[in-house]
Chains A and B, each alone.
Chain A
């Protein structure tokens, strides 16, 4: 028997969401314990700050330029590399339970396998050669709409709960800007759904059911993927007592003084101000009719409260899965990896949601690797920059496989010294959005505790525009040093390093076949 792998992801979660990373609101004792027993990464970045590209990187071990899923709505090709397929080939039972999102969700033609499987209520499309290497897929997204398994389950078993969820899309099929809660914050709703029917609980229970179906001596890889705390923020009403938004301080990244806030925004790339004022909406990652400049301090508090509640529910759901695993006697040989696909503003700079903004709010992620106790790897905190692009090689390493030829980054390190040995010097993040004439392209490197973003020519940027932040002296990224002569040498060094290490982008760009 080898090591089993539980890969846990959330969606749109910040580094500071967890107690082990300094979070002080949401109680996350299960994840904090995994952190204490394992390796906690303090500078983990995604290779793209939206779902489909980032998740495709996790599965393929490739940068976005290589796998080609440059934006939500661009499907990952069916024949793309998959670490799940490699693990399956090595004898692992494989499953993905929860949010996959390698393929578009809005799919009226039912072109995509994820949606077809949900629609047909099947958990494998082809037992001999299953979709993306997963023997078992039971899929969910944010709520009860759509064709995926969770939506079908709610509609069939608890139809009265469907309407409790927030309507993600409005009548024009745009991301809904409708407000709710006490403060009329966008994408907030008090959801009367019982906790046991909520998708966080469903993902955990379906994971336990799949694990219980396996024989004791089987090695397995299970990707348990929670749709929360991604908007809409509509956790079960019964749980809202956990965090009262009126008790919350404003987050450190929120700049209360509007004049100061706007001065900082104006020092960044121009598309920041365009979105803030509601004049430049470049993508579908936030409601197009919502204007960030209207966001109030109380709305920031309330969105944060809902998010903290969702994070607590995730932690408790993980606890129930861990308990089930322990009861099978697998605990000593179990590796647990925990991360998310990208971050969330949660009020930083006066914004919510996400988009082409390469700052810590969206790029600095929680990442924990609790190696199997039987491997005797010592707990550590790692400050070296690492990316989700290293996950596929890490899974292969845990399973005792050679590093697959298609991956573009080494496995995650055990320590900072190990990071140096493996070559974890930098981490790269890309953004491309091309939407009905609105164009943004960004390329970012993080190295030596600096973050440098180069804008490529687009609707609001020209070649030579960019952002540069010194994370040591400016952890909130308020001071853009891009044009500072004192920082010129650092900027040029970072840019040269970035262009040397970014893979060549697949050409031509694949088509975007859906908004999300």
Chain B
């Protein structure tokens, strides 16, 4: 199993960061992908390389500030669970964490790399604001 986790602290309230990253349809505004489409509990994302992933939204918990999804109907991917957490660390600071567990394990690594880019983007947008 490929299991990865990327995170960073952001000097901003958890509520404010969550209000943005907790919108599944806005993923392309911070993650390095080209487009996002959401219909009900389904999401489709398209990568710059041209690949489209179909996803099931599993958890969208505004109280816990947790979003979970899994890639489905993909001939290569036999298991996937992606999790985005925003964890408060006082009133004006939070941790944004992105985790993925995946088979085949090798795909967890490029997703981790993309998550680092995404987290850095959110930090740039919200740090100190």
Contact = CB atoms under 8 A, between A and B. Distances in A.
Q: Which residue, of A108, A436, A511, has the highest number of chain B Cβ atoms within 10 A?
A: A108
B105 A514 contact: no
A424 B92 CA distance: 54
B47 A108 contact: yes
Contact of B76 (A107, A109, A171, A512): A171
Given A173-B107, A436-B1, A119 B113 contact: no
A471 B109 CA distance: 39
Interface string A96-110: 000000001011111
Interface string B1-34: 1110010000000000000000000000000110
A174 interface: yes
Interface in A102-147: 104, 106-111, 115, 119, 147
B107 A111 contact: no
A147 B49 contact: yes
Contacts of A513: 109-110, 112-113, 116
Given A147-B49, A436-B2, A109 B112 contact: no
A73 interface: yes
B76 A514 contact: no
B109 A109 contact: no
A284 interface: yes
Interface string B75-103: 01000000000000000000000000001
A111 B109 contact: no
Given A174-B106, A436-B2, A108 B116 contact: no
Q: Interface residues of A: mostly helix, strand, loop or mixed?
A: loop
A384 to B, nearest CB: 39
Nearest to A170: B104
A173 B103 CA distance: 10
Contacts of B32: 109, 111
Given A172-B104, A174-B104, A110 B47 contact: yes
Most buried by B among A106, A109, A511, A512: A109
B51 interface: yes
A447 B57 CA distance: 58
A109 B49 contact: yes
Given A119-B49, A171-B76, A106 B110 contact: yes
A404 interface: no
B72 interface: no
B116 to A, nearest CB: 6
A107 B105 CA distance: 15
Interface residues of B, number: 23
A213 B114 CA distance: 38
B122 interface: no
Interface string B43-59: 00001110100000000
A515 B47 contact: no
Nearest to A515: B106
A119 B76 CA distance: 22
A173 B75 CA distance: 12
A173 B109 CA distance: 12
A106 B106 contact: yes
B60 interface: no
B89 to A, nearest CB: 20
A338 B29 CA distance: 46
Contacts of B3: 436
A511 B107 contact: no
Contact of A111 (B51, B76, B104, B117): B117
Contact of B48 (A104, A110, A172, A515): A110
A448 B110 CA distance: 42
Interface in A12-60: none
A173 B32 CA distance: 22
A189 B47 CA distance: 32
A514 B110 contact: yes
A513 B113 CA distance: 4
Contacts of B76: 171-173
A104 B110 contact: yes
Interface in A155-180: 171-174
B104 A511 contact: no
A453 B123 CA distance: 41
Contacts of A111: 32, 48, 113-114, 117
A436 B112 CA distance: 12
Among B33, B49, B103, B107, find the residue whose CB has the most chain A CB atoms closer than 10 A. Answer: B49
Give me the 6 closest cross-chain CB pairs, A-B, nearest first: A513-B113, A110-B48, A515-B106, A172-B104, A110-B49, A173-B104
Interface of A: 73, 104, 106-111, 115, 119, 147, 171-174, 284, 436, 511-515
